[in-house]
Amino acid sequence: MQRPYKNICPRCGKERIVVRVWVEKSENSTIENTETACPDKKCQEASERDISKQRNKRLQMEKRKRDSIRNRGSHVHKSISLVK
Ligand SMILES: [Zn+2]
């Protein structure tokens, strides 16, 4: 499979450079990972900040989801005991 690997920085539109390529092997597949960075150091630092911000947001969302599932679970439990 051929893939034209061009990664454009969403922030400044420059072509991102490949920093690191590594291969992860699992039982029956190999995954190639590529880490890219913006050639603009300031831009790269800013996007790294964004990434960690997004990660925090996702973690918070996952936590909220877990909490709401837990709440729903107790709710279901309550209605079952009402039926009895
Ligand atoms: Zn950039």
- Residue 58 placed within a domain: yes
Give the domain range for residue 69.
Answer: 17-83
> Is pLDDT above 90 for 38?
yes
> Is pLDDT above 90 for 52?
yes
Q: Which residue has the higher pLDDT, 3 or 7?
A: 7
Q: Are 5 and 21 in contact (CB under 8 A)?
A: no
- Residue 46 placed within a domain: yes
Query: Residue 47 Cα, ligand 1 centroid: separation in angstroms?
Result: 8
- Residue 24 placed within a domain: yes
Confidence (pTM): 0.55
Query: Residue 5 Cα, ligand 1 centroid: separation in angstroms?
Result: 17
> Is pLDDT above 90 for 77?
no
What is the average per-residue pLDDT within 40-69?
Answer: 95
Q: Are 47 and 38 in contact (CB under 8 A)?
A: yes
End-to-end CA distance of the chain: 60
